[in-house]
């Protein structure tokens, strides 16, 4: 079995860097201790080793495919995986006891999901969608809805989905036209088309519960007229049987990656008998959906980090086994070739991957911890955690997916021509990863969210809180002489980012919102470099302390040295591009407002 | 039919920017004029439109596949394409009249190839390999070899290949072990395995002529003991018939892209009857092969540019047709959605693609012109052209393939989720493009070639000549007030690069070659940004002159405005990363010389 993640690194992230044990002090999580938590993670690894990773390649070779008649053929193993995961609570594990869950912190639950994502990212999506759909019903549905839909989803019998996108609207949710007609019963009648519905149909579930955005007849235009509905493919009847609910899978999309994950086109109400059950109040659907959406954005970022991690591990393994070439100064061709890991450029490619994959995963855990902290705290503390989570969400989603693609490209590159062949997993990981910058809001959408909404909310309070959080780690790093230069470098970048924001806010203050946002993606790139530098400094502080204390119980001296080294690498090779982004952002020219389309020819 | 390149842009590059007509003054090309040259290009477009582009997708869906018994199944259209191209001299067109060619400048010939590469990159490889193999025989073979092998290759009946890579050696050619045993006849007997042999077997040729590197028994170790052989699959006999020459296709490689292009594993001499014909002198094979290799490197760079161009054109077309969303300042959701090309971030993605694809293609034409100039000049002039070509070769190969991948990723991104589906060509182009950073020497190999060999040759004369060439364009741009700031910015980057080279040469002078070369790939990235900035400034000068002269015979005012605009875009968004690379290169820490492998865990 090839390595696809590092258990030592996960232990370090969970316990040493992000202190999951601090959560166990809260009532909600007091039933856990560190040993139990780690056993749960290890059970995920075992499940992934046995049931998921061995099917990674075959899921790509035998993609989920529409059967021409409402069905989508999927690999038989999928059912075994979903049922195995459900049996170990990997769908409902983070739900409260009262809802059938194990009341696990997201930090624990999603570390398990990371292992699944790294092992076989096509299958983890099915689990994650079910979790998100059930959580959404639990948060905003009524008791009957919870009782009806949540248990079979957590049991892995029913598949949850999120149904937002429509052919004519794409990312622009304000333009959705799927219509819900009020009836005198407890249900609405829905009619419309939804595309790109992941997991919308497959062979491993008995029923599909689509959390669907639709517009109630007569609702206001735009996002303020959108409501959220539960639309089961088969609706439960009074006698407990299931009745076809006029939800038809009309086709699928074949894709360049994640081919084991079905992507469907759903048609609701072709026969005017698609009953939909309103969740919460009318017209508030988008705000409810954003609970699931925000979770999904963090999950996509984490998945990108996980796939990049799997690619890194595969390329590292190859570099440790493949002899080829000699050092640049070795002139004797009769000397035996060296392992390619000894070539400087190969080390550059490995450390680039390591810094991106591990840095992104650390940020994902930071977000998961914030999510947990939001849910165990109150008042201003809760609000502050939430603000931090909100500003980091688009960053983890985007950094991991954009830089993760670059990282997976380097995994291919370390294998040379072999990396391009289907004999090795790195090319599949590269193909799979490309979707992450598109799922749940493209990079452009995330960047406008960051600069247009998250930076500006509550007069910049989220930015301030983030700066405060980073400052705590800057101070901690100043305790170590070897880390001080990096602490200073990061401090400089934070000041640079503040300066950029002042520059950009000049446009906003003049009311030129277009210009304020026009380079949002460049700002996102800059912020990503800085935030990951922060994660690395945080990781380095922990490693330096371990080395100082000669505490090598959890991981070896070399492991900790590797962390400090990778931090130094990130600051030398990656962070300088933050300044380049700043230069672009401060450039006075507006070049993306061209009205004469012939200029693109 | 979708657009996959821009004929207006090609006309501009050929005649306005790179002045192909200046070549017609030389005897070798005096049979041509501009009108004829353009007609030849247009004939390539027609061939590509009719025979190549319509089969782009199906070549991916029905990949070249080993039949289990020495054969590789290919799409039936392949034979039609190769024969059609041969009939129009698109295999031998740049050869001299005396060798059956049309004595076309590489600039013309390869502009035609660009069209094929953009239309269907899987098929252009077959043509390019045949061209390169026949050229190699013409340059270094004897008359009998030329007479025997070149005509059927140019006629498209026989496929030429280059057979270098062996399983145990990879990029390290000094370790090849394929053995040639001298006989008392005119041939050697060869035994060995070659892998990754593109076009090594397929259904569209009657014979395969493998230009093969092997080691004559008793030859010195290393690259100085490598000889070049012609090894036909079927050897011509005295009576004109063909006899099986013990060259067996033992398998193929399935790949993530370029799936229509067969990639084979060849076994020579399984029955000890593989006759090989020495080209030129013994032990000089690698230097001969470098003629073909250098041509192939430029061609790979150009192909990467072409594929990026096709992706850009596909994404531009989508952006001009797809309505979605509204401007950031538009609050009224009842206003009709705008075309996505009106979104700033979409324009950013389009101009990024345009600047990379067109900039790379311009550099490829620059290289093709230098190749032509080498072949029509003498003495110091010839030598200077050759030095310039040599230093630009690894840059065009690497910039176009690395940044081209980024460009094609943006093509996917502009289409949103659709870009990831097989309904659109951009995902295939993205997959195809990834091989370009691996073919003919990986990015790491190219970077060591640039910094270790090309920068240092003749005490840096190539660098000096390159600086001189750029300075000519800097001066020309100073004639235009609106270009002067960009001229200054590029001048600054050239000085920065010179400073970096001085810094790095400090290591070399201390004899620390490892350290001198350790960040060669970062230097390559820096050089790439600067060289493409030069190409853009050169293109902008031409555009500014056209606008000044109100000369819109070849292209429109808006076309020329688009060129200046894209130049400005490149300088704002891309060029700043040159400085970031410099910062990395001047960083005193050595971080890619780790001996403790546990630090990678």
Judged against a pLDDT cut of 70, whether residue A414 lies above it is answered with yes
Q: Do A601 and B562 touch (CB under 8 A)?
A: yes
Asked if residues B153 and B135 have their Cβ atoms less than 8 Å apart, the reply is no
The full length of chain B comes to: 601
Which tokens hold the place of A342?
């000894």
- Using a CB-CB cut-off of 8 Å, the residues of chain A touching B351 are 591-592, 600
Decide if B4 is inside a domain. no
Measured from the Cβ of residue A146, the count of other Cβ atoms closer than 10 Å reads: 18
| Interface TM-score (ipTM) > 0.85 | yes
Q: Determine the Cα angle at A564 with ends A563 and A565, to 5°.
A: 90
* Chain B interface, best mutation among A6, A63, A344, by max B CB count within 10 A: A344
Tell me the shortest Cα–Cα distance from B478 to chain A, in angstroms: 20
pLDDT at A301: 98
Q: Tally Cβ neighbours within 10 Å of residue A335.
A: 11
A9: its two tokens: 């690194």
Among B residues 554-573, those touching chain A with beta carbons less than 8 Å apart: 556, 558-559, 561-562, 565, 568-569, 572-573
Q: What is the pLDDT of residue B173?
A: 87
Q: What is the dihedral of CA A510, A514, A520, A522, to 10 degrees?
A: -90
CB A112: neighbour CB atoms within 10 A? 27
State yes or no: pLDDT of A166 exceeds 90. yes
Residue B362, pLDDT score: 98
State the pLDDT confidence band at A394, using cuts at 50, 70 and 90. very high
In a domain, B319, yes or no: no
Residue partners of A379: CB distance under 8 A and separation at least 6: none
Q: What is the pLDDT of residue B326?
A: 87
Task: Indicate which residue of A51, A166, A440, A568 is catalytic.
Answer: A440
Q: Do B519 and A348 touch (CB under 8 A)?
A: yes
The pair of three-digit structure tokens given for residue A429, joined into one six-digit string: 């990981």
Q: CB B444 to CB A413 under 8 A? A: yes
CA distance, residue A346 to nearest chain B CA (Å) = 8
- A425 interfacial to chain B (CB closer than 8 Å): no
B421 DSSP 8-state letter: B
List the single residue in B255, B421, B596 with the smallest CB-CB distance to A422.
B255
CA distances from B54 to A529, B1, B147, B312, B425 (A): 42, 8, 36, 18, 12
Average pLDDT over residues A394-401: 98
d(CA A291, CA A71): 30
Which residues on B lie below 8 Å from A599 (Cβ)?
A: 558-559, 561-562, 565
- Match 């202190």 to its residue by tokens: A19
Active-site entry in B166, B402, B440, B574:
B440
**B278 belongs to a structural domain:** no
Give the pLDDT confidence score for residue A327 in this predicted structure: 85
Picking from B4, B444, B563 by the largest number of A CB atoms within 10 A of its own CB, the best residue to mutate is B444
d(CA B208, CA A318): 33
* Encoded tokens for B28: 């070798």
Asked whether the beta carbons of residue B434 and residue A344 sit closer than 8 angstroms, the reply is: no
CA B404 to chain centre: 11
Its pTM stands at 0.97
Instruction: Please give the Cα distance from B134 to B382 (Å, whole number).
Output: 23
A448 vs A436: CA distance, rounded Å: 17
Q: How many domains does chain A have?
A: 1
In angstroms, rounded to a whole number, what is the distance separating the alpha carbons of residues B387 and B366?
13
Which residue in this structure is represented by tokens 């079979």?
Answer: A152
- DSSP letter string over B421-486? BTTSTHHHHHHHHGGGGTTTS-HHHHHHIIIIIITTGGGGHHHHHHHHHHHHHHHHHTTSTTTHHH
B540 domain residue, yes or no: yes
**Whole-Å CA distances, A398 to A72, A223, A333, A529:** 30, 24, 46, 11
Chain A, nearest residue to B443 by Cα: A413
At A171, is the pLDDT very low, low, confident or very high (cuts 50, 70, 90)? confident
DSSP helix/strand/coil, B293? helix
Q: Is residue B533 part of a domain?
A: yes
Q: For position B1, what pLDDT does the model report?
A: 67
Across residues A343-363, what is the average pLDDT?
A: 98
pLDDT of residue B331: 77
In sequence order, what are the beta bridge partners of A216?
A: A180
Q: How confident is the model at residue A1 (pLDDT cuts 50, 70, 90)?
A: low
Neighbours of B255 (CB within 10 A): 22
**Residues A403/A353, Cβ–Cβ less than 8 Å:** no
> What pLDDT score was predicted for residue B501?
98
* A423 interface with B at CB cutoff 8 Å: yes
Residue B21 covered by a domain: no
**Beta partners for residue A208, in sequence order:** A159
B222 within a domain of the structure (yes/no) = no
Q: How far apart are CA A456 and CA A462, in angstroms?
A: 8
Q: How many CB atoms lie within 10 A of CB A84?
A: 17
Res A553: pLDDT: 95
Domain that holds residue B473: 443-587
Q: At what angle do helices A285-321 and A426-433 cross, to 10 degrees?
A: 160
Q: What is the DSSP string of A368-395?
A: HHHHHHHHH--HHHHHHHHHHHHHHHHH
In total, the C-beta contacts within 8 angstroms joining chain A to chain B are: 295
Instruction: Please give the residue of chain B at the shortest CA–CA distance from A406.
Output: B406
Least Cα distance to B305 among B367, B255, B262 occurs for: B367
The first and second tokens of residue B334, run together, are 């009842």
Query: A322: which chain B residues are within 8 Å (Cβ-Cβ)?
Result: 170
pLDDT along chain B (601 residues), means of 10: 92 98 98 98 98 98 97 98 98 96 98 98 96 97 98 98 91 91 97 97 98 96 94 95 97 98 98 98 94 92 98 98 87 89 97 98 98 97 98 98 98 97 98 97 97 96 98 96 97 98 97 96 98 98 98 97 98 98 97 97 90
Where are the extended beta strands (E) located within B22-165?
65-66, 72-73, 158-163
Residue of B329, B344, B511 best to disrupt the A interface, most CBs of A under 10 A:
B344
Question: What Cα–Cα distance (Å) separates residue A45 from each residue in A114, A182, A440, A513, B136?
Answer: 10, 47, 27, 47, 55
Residue A293 CA to residue A295 CA, distance in Å, equals: 5
Does the active-site annotation cover A568? no
Residue A597 lies in a domain: no
Q: What is the mean pLDDT of residues A114-126?
A: 97
Task: Give yes or no for residue A467 having a pLDDT over 80.
Answer: yes
A378 in contact with B at a CB cutoff of 8 Å? no
- What is the pLDDT, as a whole number, of residue A118? 98
Between residues 307 and 336 of chain B, which touch chain A (CB distance below 8 Å)? 316, 320, 322, 324-329, 333-334
């Amino acid at each position: 079995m090839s390595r696809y993640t590092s258990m030592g690194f996960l232990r370090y992230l969970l316990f040493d860097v992000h202190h999951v044990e601090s959560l166990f002090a809260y009532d909600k999580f007091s039933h856990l201790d560190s040993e139990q938590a780690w056993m749960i993670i290890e059970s995920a690894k075992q499940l992934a080793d046995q049931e998921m990773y061995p099917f990674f390649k075959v899921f790509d070779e035998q993609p989920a495919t529409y059967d021409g008649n409402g069905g989508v053929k999927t690999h038989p193993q999928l059912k075994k995986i979903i049922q195995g995961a459900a049996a170990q609570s990997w769908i409902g594990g983070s739900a409260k006891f009262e809802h059938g869950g194990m009341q696990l912190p997201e930090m624990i639950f999603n570390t398990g999901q990371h292992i699944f994502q790294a092992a076989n990212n096509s299958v983890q999506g099915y689990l994650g969608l079910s979790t998100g759909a059930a959580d959404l019903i639990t948060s905003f549905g009524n008791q009957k809805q919870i009782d009806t839909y949540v248990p079979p989803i957590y049991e892995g019998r029913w598949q949850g989905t999120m149904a937002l996108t429509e052919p004519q609207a794409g990312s622009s949710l304000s333009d959705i036209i799927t219509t819900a007609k009020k009836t005198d019963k407890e249900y609405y009648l829905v009619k419309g088309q939804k595309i790109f519905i992941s997991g919308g149909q497959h062979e491993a579930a008995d029923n599909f519960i689509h959390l669907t955005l639709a517009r109630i007849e007569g609702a206001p235009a735009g996002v303020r007229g959108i409501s959220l509905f539960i639309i089961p493919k088969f609706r439960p009847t009074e006698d407990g049987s299931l009745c076809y609910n006029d939800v038809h899978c009309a086709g699928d999309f074949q894709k360049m990656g994640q081919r084991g994950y079905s992507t469907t086109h759903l048609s609701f109400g072709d026969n005017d008998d698609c009953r939909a059950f309103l969740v919460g109040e009318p017209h508030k659907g988008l705000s409810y959906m954003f609970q699931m959406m925000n979770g999904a954005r963090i999950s996509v970022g984490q998945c990108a980090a996980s796939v990049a991690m799997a690619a890194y591990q595969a390329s590292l393994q190859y570099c440790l086994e493949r002899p080829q070439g000699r050092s640049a100064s070795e002139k004797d061709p009769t000397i035996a070739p060296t392992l390619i890991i000894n070539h400087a450029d190969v080390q550059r490619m490995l450390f680039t991957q390591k810094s991106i994959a591990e840095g992104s995963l650390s940020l994902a855990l930071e977000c998961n911890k914030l999510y947990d902290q939001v849910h165990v705290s109150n008042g201003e503390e809760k609000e502050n955690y939430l603000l931090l989570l909100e500003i980091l969400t688009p960053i983890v989603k985007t950094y991991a997916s954009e830089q993760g693609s670059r990282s997976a490209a380097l995994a291919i590159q370390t294998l040379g021509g072999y990396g391009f062949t289907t004999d090795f997993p790195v090319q599949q990981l590269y193909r799979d990863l490309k979707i992450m910058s598109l799922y749940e809001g493209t990079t452009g959408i995330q960047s406008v969210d960051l600069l247009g909404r998250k930076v500006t909310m509550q007069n910049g309070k989220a930015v301030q809180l983030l700066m405060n959080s980073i400052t705590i780690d800057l101070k901690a790093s100043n305790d170590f002489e070897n880390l001080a230069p990096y602490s200073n470098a990061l401090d400089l970048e934070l000041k640079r980012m503040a300066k950029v924001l002042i520059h950009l806010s000049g446009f906003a203050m003049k009311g030129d919102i277009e210009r304020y946002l026009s380079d949002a993606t460049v700002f996102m790139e800059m912020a990503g470099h800085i935030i990951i530098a922060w994660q690395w400094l945080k990781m380095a502080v922990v490693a330096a302390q371990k080395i100082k204390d000669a505490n090598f119980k959890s991981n070896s001296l070399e492991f900790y040295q590797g962390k400090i080294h990778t931090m130094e690498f990130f600051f030398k090779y990656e962070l300088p591009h933050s300044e380049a982004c700043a230069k672009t952002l401060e450039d006075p020219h507006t070049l993306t407002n061209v009205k004469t389309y012939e200029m693109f020819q």
